[in-house]
Structure 1
Amino acid sequence: MNEHWKNLFTPVQIGSCQIKNRFAMAPMGPLGLGDAEGGFNQRGIDYYTERAKGGTGLIITGVTFVENEVEQHGMPNCPCSTYNPVQFVRTAREMTERIHAYGAKVFLQMSGGFGRVTIPTNLGEFPPVAPSPIPHRWLDKICRELTKDEIHYIVKKFGDGAYNAQRAGFDGVEIHAVHEGYLIDQFAISLFNNRTDEYGGCLENRLRFAREIVEEIKKRCGKDFPVALRYSPKSMMKDWRVGALPGEEFQEAGRDLDEGVEAAKLLVQYGYDALDVDVGTYDAWWWNHPPMYQEKGLYRKYAKLMKETVNVPILMAGRMDDPDMASACIADGTCDIISLGRPLLADPDYVNKLRAGLRRTIRPCLSCHEGCMGRIQEYSLLNCAVNPQACRERDMAYRPVCRPKKVLIVGGGVAGCEAARVLAIRGHEPHLFEAGDRLGGNLIPGGTPDFKEDDRALAAWYAQELERLRVPVTLNHPVDKAQVLAGGYDAVIVATGSTPKVFPLGDDAHVHTAADVLTGKATVGQRVVIVGAGLVGCETTLWLREQGKDVTLAEALSKPLAVNGPLCHANSEMLEALLPYKKISVVTNASVRSFENGRVLVQTPQGEQTLLADDVILCVGYREQNDLYHQLEFDVADLHLVGDARKVANIMYAIWDAFEVANHL
């Protein structure tokens, strides 16, 4: 192990609870991990246990509810510690006992409710509630104001739920939260709280809900039972549903830092034993759920401020998967505990691998949100784009083989690499051929922008994993039908990917694909028109703008990113907001007709427009490259088509396709 990382493996206390190292599993929505009676299902038990087995010192569960009457939740969206206490204790006890076997501690994250920020797919027909009649975050609805009796009921249920958690073997609880604009935070922020009773008005009144919760838990569970708080000292809001961008000067509409400091002091005075710090609200969601467009370690200065303000441990997440950065934060007093959320979805063994000096074997998180928040938002499911086993550890376990097969894999993109990796782990004999000079496929051009560093890391990870597993890899070698049939293979996986769609515009010597520009095969002048404002078009635009290019986006639909999905709102909304902030022109409902003599002719509902350009980049989608598969489909019995060659989608589905096929050969 790197000597500088040893401070990450020293013990730390939260109240009476000693944690073996400085790593916590950050809470992530446990959608799909609860049962119909409010307990943890087998997937949830396996999922949390796997992260404890991987070396994480403190497991913090995803959000669980304390009641199901005032703010109703369709069961079994998330566990609920009071819905059926016997079932909750029964299932949670099995989980905590397994977690403790690995020397880890576990806190139950308990929520008072979502209020105005409930994700519509999880809301169903239930009416949203809030401190006051205020607009819902996503829906065109005004929330219903909570009564004082309902507040008192929720407080009591926190006590009941914490007592059940203590019985079930949890080492503490984390309250969710004066953070991100959830219900308790809505009470704390004056913009959302227009009450005139003892729960509104001055800061102490607005924090009364949070105060009564910790006092009730301490009364029921004892003063030595740790109670942490998820806390955002700054909201990053410019207005309702409008967030601020990094570096932007703005007037804070939510909680500003001055009040954030004062509130932190009060919350610790009330009895909270630790603060789990980030910044943001659902109205500025790209802060709480940072996409790759945010810098790594984006909460450091806010955590440091909290560390200087209060005398309880500070936990901090926020793209903290760089161990050098994590070690420096522990050393300089930025925080006491490093929380890893999505990195532990991507690789549950992150901590043990780091401790053993195996950093290069840690599978990187892409901050893409495709498998986690994107699927939570659309399907109420928690998964991971790069780790198909996340939240499905038992169902998707590697299947050992009795009779190894010799398997040909054609294509070295993510689908081909994942197939080869899984086959080798299971005991098969994969042989991978790639027409290009590198493994990685679309990760190579996609990873060119600075903010896509983790795409580059994933390509490198696949290359070194296949080398470690001794998979024969042949580069610069296109494969034809004759070679396949002459190779004596027991099975063939075709992962030949996709090719960019192109069409003639006139001056085609100056019309390029995004892949060619990103990889340096083509260069562009100062003025560039990009045709297509999907994910590739928008990210290529940002990359060129950072180089000082004058870029115009021409999109056939009514808005950028209209056809990409399921993109988490944190990613899509930040990317959309960055376009005008970076002074990028966007022409929507635009059909590009021609490009000649430095002029791009565009048809819009308002008539023809002329855009000046030195070069045009086409970002209008991809076409499946599956010719080899169709040449082989009546000659090879065990033949499979995976990834973009089967259906153009994204990195997640390419990896998932390949894992499913390779794990069942």
Structure 2
Amino acid sequence: MVARSVLLDPIRVGTATLKSRIVMGSMHTGLEHHPERFDELGRFYAERAKGGAGLIVTGGFAPNFAGRMKNEPGTFERSDQVADHKKITGPVRAAGGRILLQILHAGRYGYHPAVVAPSPIKSPINRDVPAEMTDEQIEETIGNYATTARLAMEAGYDGVEIMGSEGYLVSEFLAPRTNHRTDRWGGFLENRGRFPISVVKAVRAAIGDGLISYRISALELVEGGLTQDETLWLAKEVEKAGADCISTGIGWHEAAVPTIAGPVPHAAFIDSTRRLKGVVKIPVTASNRINLPEDAAQIIAEGSADLVSMARPLLADAEFVNKVGRGRPDLVNVCIACNQACLDHYFTDQVISCLVNPRAVRENEFSDAPATSAKRVAVVGAGVAGMAAALEAGRRGHHVTLFESAPRIGGQFALAAVIPGKEDYGLSLKSYEAQLAEAGVEVKTGTVVDAEVLKRENFDEVVVSSGVSPRLIDIPGGDDPRVVGYTDILTGKVKAGERVVVIGGGGIGHDVALFLAMETNGRRQTREEFFERWGIEGKPKHQPARRQITMVKRSPGAFGRTLGKSTGWILRQELKDLKVRQIAEAKYRKVDSEGLHIALPEGDEVLPADTIVVCAGQESDRAIADVIAANGQTVHVIGGARLAGELDAKRAIYEGAILGNRM
């Protein structure tokens, strides 16, 4: 008998009893600005409610025009908006869930000309200088919070979360960094804290016994932010003002410290949450880089928090809690903290989804009904596209065989798992293995299959997801044994020398440079190492690179422009601190005993090298598809086999999933 997880223990928060300790944390989906699509948002949240989340918190809605995140609708301030919000709350309540509306005033983080703040101090991540709020505007804004909270209750929400962390308006009032006022709203901590405390009191008066969660920065990570002692004082005052729960956030968005990306160790900031929990009596919610059931359970069991907020992990798997309840945490589709389809989408004005779960926020595109007839399906290649296709087809009831020539599934994902900061890709593959087995997919690794075998076995559908082959370099000396492909380096087939030249400035080139510079051999960075590296409790300390590495590319301009919008800066900073040299606008002349000869606008140069790693793109490996088609079988080509280009796991997984689901 499987022991019951503490994550399934109910908990009393205010007047409500939550069915589990997992909270679907607030995350902007990009639909908050589109009331005509609130039915999609409702279904998205309802799936998480059905999946066992004890509480759901929406993406932020502004209490007034100036508080919007972007220069488009995104407020909840009028009674005629209540009906639209019922499209969100109705499905969640029907699924047995509870949901809070997050009230978020962006302050100087708003991307529009009407931004306001306590003081007219420009944010380093925004182009506009905010207008300083008058005393009258501050009082009016407090009233706006109360109005939004009242409307939320009318719309069927269980209450609200007041966004008081991560550098938005409430943070800006609290921090000396952004509050230079000399009136009753600035100066001493009690004055700077007047705004958030007034907001909580006004909201409590407006919603009676509705739930109030207050999101607090447990650790600011910016100069001029609140100290730990000031944060503890604030938590106690917020509790006195009427909050039912405190939800912890980490850092401001302008902080030069990663807080939710892959390089951050699991539950790295839990000590700050634990300290905060020690000074209040109301429940406290932990967050930030908690993506595994065992980590969440440990946090609850050891008393570091009462609840655990998971936004991206529940994006990756709506059934997270239910799988834990079934005693099958191995089936949880692990969030890899890549941010490629969630945060990066939001920051580029796209509706979010999830790289490892393309169903997220696309629930209407997929069917859970059994297929009308079970087909025999062959999937050739178990990279991410093939795995996704096989999994969806298997879940619809088809008889699926997944062929893979390598010893294990994963393809490029398996290579990525050895990159420092991408260790969770390996956990994702373990989850895929368990999910494929549960879906009844027959996985044949170490198996090379040809078109004749597929024809003889008489499969109804054949999916070719055979991936890519790294492109070689066609210059004199390109066949020198020192010239190797990135796959040979990442699989350990070739051990790099002390002086390495990496050819290619795309994502793979950056990853390979980091892999060779750090050489962690798959070991995840510890919390202590991470704190030291980023100077969280002192000055940053950088470890020297293990090798002398030079990156070189043909195109002009800075390196890393194609990296992730929200994570690329981390990798660029890592390579800078490791003193990796980067050379752009180079023409590759030849390789000889001296090294790689290149021509630059300012003249020729020779780069001495013991190893030259080629990361200059890849080509589709799809020859088998043409033979299959010639044999008269239906064939579908997906992923890298269909389009190589810059490898795109997000596209590949979506292609595979939608194909498998629609067979």
TM-score for the superposition, normalised by structure 2? 0.89
Structure 1's 140 and 589: CA in aligned 2 closer, same or farther, altered over 3 A? Answer: farther
Given that 1:23 and 1:337 are in contact with CA atoms closer than 8 Å, whether structure 2 keeps it comes out as yes
1:268 and 2:239 matched: yes
Give 2:577's aligned residue.
581
User: In the aligned structure 2, how far is the partner of 1:617 from the partner of 1:370?
Assistant: 26
Quote the residue 2:9 is aligned against: 10
1:607/1:302 Cα in 2 relative to 1: closer, same or farther (>3 Å)?
Answer: farther
Partner of 1:429: 399
Alignment partner, residue 608 of structure 1: 604
Partner of 1:45: 42
8 Å CA contact 1:81, 1:88 repeated in 2: no
Query: Which sections of structure 2, spanning at least 5 residues, go unmatched?
Result: 520-545
Secondary structure in structure 2 of the residue aligned to 1:291: coil
| Structure-1 residue corresponding to 2:185 | 199
Aligned match for 1:334, one of 294, 301, 304: 304
Find the counterpart in structure 1 of residue 593 from structure 2: 597
The equivalent residue for 2:339 is: 369
Match of 1:543 in 2: 515
Question: 2:266 is matched with which residue: 286, 296, 299?
Answer: 296
Question: 1:637: Cα distance to partner?
Answer: 6.2
Q: CA shift at 1:276, angstroms?
A: 1.1
The corresponding residue for 1:114 is: 106
| Structural mapping, 1:251-262, within 5 Å | 252-262=223-233
Residues 532-573 of structure 1 show CA distances to partners (whole Å, capped at 9, x for unaligned) of 232222222222222323323234442222234xx232x111
1:109-258 mapped onto 2 (5 Å cutoff): 109-111=102-104, 113-118=105-110, 120=111, 123=112, 126-177=113-164, 179-222=165-208, 224-237=209-222, 252-258=223-229
Moved over 6 A (4+): none
> In structure 2, the residue corresponding to 1:379 is in which secondary structure?
coil
User: Percent of counterpart pairs with the same letter?
Assistant: 28
Task: Give, in angstroms, the shift of residue 286 of structure 1.
Answer: 5.5
1:279 aligns with 250
Question: SS of the residue aligned with 2:488?
Answer: helix
In the alignment, is the contact (CA less than 8 A) between 2:263 and 2:420 conserved in 1?
no
Matches of 1:258 and 1:607 in 2, distance apart?
Answer: 58
- 1:622-633 equivalent positions in 2, closer than 5 A: 622-633=618-629
Rounded to whole Å, the distance in 2 between the matches of 1:66 and 1:456 is 42
Tell me which residue corresponds to 1:244. none
**1:484-531: CA deviation from partner (whole Å, max 9, x where unpaired):** 444423222111111112204527211222221111111112222222
Aligned mate of 2:350, from 380, 392, 411: 380
SS of the equivalent of 2:213 reads: strand
Q: What is the alpha-carbon distance in structure 2 between the residues aligned to residue 407 and residue 577 of structure 1? A: 45
Change (3 A) 1:158 1:90: same
- Give 1:89 shift: 5.2
Give the drift of 1:231. Answer: 1.2
SS in 2 for 1:309: coil
Q: Distance in 2 between matches of 1:515 and 1:83?
A: 58
The match for 2:415 among 445, 454, 457 is 445
Question: What is aligned with 2:551?
Answer: 553
Cα 1:307–1:607 change in 2 (3 A) is farther
- Residue type at the aligned position of 2:402: L
Change (3 A) 1:135 1:74: closer
Match of 1:305?
Answer: 275
Instruction: Describe the shift of the 1:308–1:601 C-alpha distance in structure 2 as closer, same or farther (beyond 3 A).
Output: farther
Structure 2 counterpart SS, 1:216:
helix
Relative to structure 1, the CA distance from residue 338 to residue 70 in structure 2 (aligned partners, 3 Å threshold; closer, same or farther) is closer
Contact residue 531 and residue 592 of structure 1 kept, 8 A: no
Paired with 1:69 and 1:325, the residues of 2 have a C-alpha distance of: 39
Quote the offset at 1:429 in angstroms.
Answer: 2.4
Most deviating of 489-498 and 457-466? 457-466
Displacement of 1:176: 1.1
> 2 CA distance for matches of 1:84 and 1:285?
41
Distance 1:15 1:472, change over 3 A: closer
User: Per-residue displacement from partner, 1:291-335 (whole Å, max 9, x unpaired)?
Assistant: 111111022111112122333321111221233322222233211
Alpha carbons of 1:654 and 1:79: their partners in 2 closer, same or farther (altered >3 Å)? Answer: farther
What's the offset of the Cα at 1:92? 4.3
Q: Secondary structure at the match of 1:233?
A: strand
TM-superposed deviation, 1:129 = 3.0
Name the structure 2 match of 1:241: none
Counterpart code for 1:272: A
1:67 to 64, 68, 74: 64
Q: Deviations over 1:153-198 (max 9, x none)?
A: 2221211111122233322211112x11112212222222233332
Q: Distance in 2 between matches of 1:61 and 1:105?
A: 11
Aligned match of 2:656: 658
Cα deviation, residue 449, structure 1: 3.0
* Cα offset, 1:385, TM superposition: 0.8
- Whole-Å separation in 2 of the counterparts to 1:256 and 1:534: 40
2:289 aligned to which of 319, 328, 331: 319
Assess, with a 3 A threshold, how the Cα gap between structure 1 residues 543 and 148 changes in structure 2: closer, same or farther.
Answer: same
SS in 2 for 1:538: helix
Query: Which secondary structure state, in structure 2, belongs to the residue aligned with residue 283 of structure 1?
Result: coil
The Cα of 1:209 is off from its aligned counterpart by 2.1
Q: Kindly tell me: are residues 324 and 117 of structure 1, through their superposed partners in 2, closer, same or farther at Cα, counting changes over 3 Å?
A: same
Structure 1 partner of 2:527: none
The equivalences for 1:462-541 within 5 A come to 462-504=432-474, 506=477, 508-541=480-513
Q: Letter of the aligned partner of 1:225 in structure 2? A: G
Amino acid in the other structure paired with 1:617: V
Q: Which residues of structure 1 form unaligned runs of 5+?
A: 238-251
3-state SS of 1:662 partner: helix
Tell me the amino acid that sits aligned with residue 492 of structure 1. Answer: V
* 1:644 Cα deviation from its structure 2 partner: 1.1
Shift of 1:258: 4.1
Tell me, yes or no, if the aligned pair for 1:23 and 1:57 is still in contact at 8 Å: yes
The 8 Å contact of residues 117 and 137 in structure 1, kept in 2 or not, is answered as: no
**Matched residue type, 1:59:** I
Match runs of 1:393-408 below 5 Å: 393-408=363-378
Deviation at residue 393 of structure 1 after TM alignment? 1.8
Letter in 1 for 2:212: V
Write the distance in 1 (CA, Å) between the matches of 2:315 and 2:481.
Answer: 44
In the superposition, relative to structure 1, how do residues 51 and 627 fare at CA in structure 2: closer, same or farther (>3 Å)?
same
Name the amino acid aligned to 1:314: V
Q: 1:117 to 1:428 in 2, by over 3 A?
A: same
What is the one-letter code of the residue matched to 1:639? V
**Distance (whole Å) between structure 2 residues aligned to residue 526 and residue 220 of structure 1:** 66
Question: How many aligned residue pairs are there?
Answer: 632
Q: 1:332 and 1:562, CA in 2 relative to 1: closer, same or farther beyond 3 A?
A: same
1:191-240 alpha-carbon deviations (Å, 9 max, x no partner): 22233332222222222221221111111122x43322111133223xxx
Q: Match for 2:336: what amino acid?
A: L
Counterparts of 1:502 and 1:174 in 2: how far apart (Å)? 54
The AA in structure 1 aligned to 2:205 is K
1:140 and 1:450, CA in 2 relative to 1: closer, same or farther beyond 3 A? closer
Q: Deviations over 1:121-173 (max 9, x none)?
A: xx4xx443333222244443323333333322222121111112223332221
Report the AA paired with residue 147 of structure 2. Answer: D
**Alignment partner, residue 528 of structure 2:** none
Q: 2:115, 2:134 → 1: CA distance?
A: 13
* Amino acid in the other structure paired with 2:284: I
Q: Which residue of 2 aligns with 1:460?
A: 430
**TM-score normalised according to structure 1 size:** 0.88
C-alpha displacement of 1:74: 5.1
Cross-structure match for 1:94: 90
For 1:517, the aligned partner's letter is I
Shift in CA distance, 203/82, structure 1 to aligned 2, threshold 3 Å: farther
Instruction: Give the distance between the partners of 1:408 and 1:89, measured in 2 at CA.
Output: 44
CA distance 1:364–1:203, change in 2 (3 Å): same
